[in-house]
Amino acid sequence: MGACRHGARCSRLHIKPTFSPTILLPNFYKSPYPNPANPESGPIDPETMLASQDHFDEFYEDVFTEMEEKYGAVEEMNVCDNLSEHLVGNTYVKFRREEDAERAAEDLNNRWFDGRVVSAELSTVTDFNEACCRQYDIGQCKFGGFCNFMHIKPISKELRREIYGPSRDHRRRESSRSRSRSRSPRRR
């Protein structure tokens, strides 16, 4: 799964991958709003829910855009909405190329985000369908926020269309054209 609930106290040997298209940013997303999955939060009013979604969408778009612009094409990005300490806010970014993921993991470990040191590592997760809780996807997870499978925090439909929609490939082609032009020597 990429995140063990026992952490450093685990008796099992967890082999960290030396190459992977996916990076893990543990506990990266911190919401200033109460999580509806937390029973201690109580009822959350619609305005707070809307503000929470806006905050998350802004975070998602910022991180996704920076990953693509600095490191390479992002195939998929997922943020865990679980409550367990080993999963809460975990952000997984799957790049198209393993080299881009490796470069991102190395570079991000020298950065700060939102007043905190960034921790990044290559992840064993390459198939999010296998890592996600299927019961959560249909609203029936009996473990709630403390499930050990990923509960993916959804982005808004508008942001999904903007980031993953048909115009995405057009933007990427334009971006790579301008990058390749700037790198190639001029011919006379």
Q: Calculate the average pLDDT of the chain.
A: 84
Amino acid at 78: N
pTM exceeding the 0.95 threshold for the entire prediction: no
Proportion of the chain above pLDDT 90, given as a percent = 60
Q: According to the model, what pLDDT value does residue 144 have?
A: 87
Q: According to the model, what pLDDT value does residue 44 have?
A: 78
For the structural domain made of 7-156, what CATH number should be given?
A: 3.30.70.330
Least confident of 47-51, 84-88, 183-187: 183-187
Instruction: Identify whether the C-beta of residue 32 lies closer than 8 Å to the C-beta of residue 47.
Output: no
pLDDT exceeds cutoff 80 at 5? no
For 2, residues 6+ apart whose C-beta sits below 8 A from its C-beta are 22, 24, 90, 92, 123, 124, 125, 131
Binned at pLDDT 50, 70 and 90, residue 4 comes out as low
